[in-house]
Amino acid sequence: MLPFTLQQLRILKAIATEKNFTRAAEVLYISQPSLSKQIKALEKNLGILLINRESNKISLTENGKVFLQYSERILALCEESCRALIDLKNGDRGNLTVGTNQTIGTYLMPQILSLFAQNYPQITLKIQINSTPIILNNILKQEIDIALIGDEIPKKLRKNLTIKSFVKEEINLIISQIHPFAKKEKINKEDLYYLNFITLNSNSNIQKFIDNTLIENQIETKQLKVIMQLNSVEGIKTAVSLGLGAAFISSSAIEKELKLKTIKILTIKDIKISRSLSVISNSKYYKSKAFTFFSNELYRLKNILKN
């Protein structure tokens, strides 16, 4: 007999996530007394304390943190086995959780999902939009099946991930149609120093990528005039369209504005900024039929997305 049940592992995970017994009970649709009783039974059977309950604050002990890691692996394996059986039973039906970051999730992913749904309406997709570190962590925890991201993957994580190149996405310099440079089709690198820039927060991964690319092209980024930092691409596009300044924005995010002719793309002589989007998955994770269909469809859609 094992000293724990799957339900007790689910309870421990919920408590660790919610850091509150009441909310954990609500998430699992059980009563709080039942949850407390189960966690006490688990601690008794293991002979160790898993949860600190001091000063009305809930946190895991060191033993609890270690046990949680194994609990998550056990639960993920259980879910994986169920999904494998469902695949065998239902054939081409299934569920898939797709992860991505904010910009891709807002502007590129809807196109992908729409095209995929046309061919596989029987597959239920769940989308998780978050920062790249969280997306990668959730892939490793087997909470996300497949992800599309544009940021660099840390070397320490690469050994447990399957990383495949998808497409290259251009990052364009945009200005409003009323900007003094609007009559120009191409500018020189030196002209960048005469522009007022609106950027994302300097901690943004894509902003770091843009700055590094400019530096590689002998642009002194610290000498560029940044008049405004915003937290959203939508805010930046609005500010640019109003003539407040220029900005570097992913090509997938400006399709609407180009059609409405509220902005214009400026080409910089001898500089082209583009980033590689990658398809990421867990190299050790069971690949369901839904995963295979989505992965194959992604690469079939590459040419459509480029146009």
Q: Stretch 242-270: mean pLDDT, rounded?
A: 92
> Is residue 180 domain-shared with residue 154, that is, in the same domain?
no
- Each residue's pLDDT tens digit, 134-176: 999 999 988 899 999 988 888 888 888 999 988 888 999 999 9
Q: Which of 30, 57, 84 is the last residue of a domain?
A: 84
> Is residue 76 domain-shared with residue 142, that is, in the same domain?
no
**Is the predicted pLDDT of residue 305 greater than 70, yes or no?**
no
Q: Between these two residues, 217 and 296, which has the higher pLDDT value?
A: 217
Residue 225's domain is classified under what CATH number?
Answer: 3.40.190.290
Query: Which residues span the domain enclosing 42?
Result: 6-84
- Each residue's pLDDT tens digit, 107-139: 888 888 888 888 888 888 899 999 888 999 999
> Is residue 156 domain-shared with residue 294, that is, in the same domain?
yes
Domain count, the chain: 3
> Is residue 162 domain-shared with residue 283, that is, in the same domain?
yes
Between helices 289-300 and 109-119, what is the axis angle to 10°?
Answer: 120
Residue 106's domain is classified under what CATH number?
Answer: 3.40.190.10
Radius of gyration of the chain (CA): 24
Q: Which of 84, 103, 123 is the last residue of a domain?
A: 84
Q: Is residue 254 part of a domain?
A: yes
Q: What angle do CA 142, 145, 151 make, to 5 degrees?
A: 95
At residue 3, the pLDDT reads 92
> Is residue 163 domain-shared with residue 280, that is, in the same domain?
yes
- Each residue's pLDDT tens digit, 1-49: 789 999 999 999 999 999 999 999 999 999 999 999 999 999 999 999 9
> Is residue 51 domain-shared with residue 102, that is, in the same domain?
no
Is the pTM higher than 0.85? The answer reads no
Cβ–Cβ < 8 Å for 127, 109: yes
> Is residue 283 domain-shared with residue 153, that is, in the same domain?
yes
